[in-house]
Structure 1
């Protein structure tokens, strides 16, 4: 039987997705949508206009990670060139090697790796025309 825990251990540097970093979707009125979720479901909107769902890393319980959730104004160019109504941000490890693998596999890469205090990002398109945001946390 394969040991699945070892494939996600701190020593594993395989270029791959390790989780979901964010869920973003179109809304006719993002402010009203956020207000509805706050009033009815008790979610708290953070300084970036999103909701952060915090959780612990199973391999390092002292490490707190988060998933971001946010509605965007319908038609927001941030989702372009995708025509879909949602975008998922995947948390990844070893982003540079993953991008090389994606290039070798002929995946459409939309931009260059951008680095911020909170991590590195790049955007790609999947085979169904969904824009995907890849994020390697700092």
Structure 2
């Protein structure tokens, strides 16, 4: 099947304090640091996968989880930890096939999965 879709053009979500939340993403993850919140991504895989309503992979009160591809998860986790951001890691999340994962939460509790795809 051919498609004219070339990628995700944006992610829009409600926030109790949009300015503070945007500042948190800029400061800790470097997202939205450009004009009008724009951020130039590197080309790469994006997973689009609906989960079952009763999945326990992320919190039941959240309709979605943000997954961000990263190039150096160890360095990012060290930086986040130094900033006082709690980072969850589980050995069973990591596989040679899919890569390395960590999870944080933004100031309003949204789960953010950090994903370093396997190299090679």
Unaligned 5+ residue runs, structure 2? 1-28, 32-41
CA contact (8 A) 1:110 1:125 kept: no
CA offsets 1:80-116 (integer angstroms, 9 cap, x no match) = 3x73110011001110010011111111222246432
Q: Aligned with 2:75: secondary structure?
A: helix
CA contact (8 A) 2:106 2:112 kept: yes
The structure whose residues are more often strand, as a share, is: 1
5 Å matches for 1:1-138?
A: 57=43, 65-80=44-59, 83-112=61-90, 114-117=93-96, 118-138=98-118
Which has the larger Rg?
1
1:71–1:17 Cα change, 3 Å = farther
Question: How many residues align structurally?
Answer: 79
Q: Aligned with 1:97: secondary structure?
A: helix
TM-score normalised per structure 1: 0.49
* Root-mean-square deviation (Å): 2.6
For residue 33 of structure 1, what is the aligned residue in structure 2? none
Which consecutive segments of 4 or more residues in structure 1 shift more than 2 A?
110-115
Higher relative contact order at CA 8 Å, sep ≥6: structure 1 or structure 2?
1
Q: Aligned with 2:48: secondary structure?
A: strand
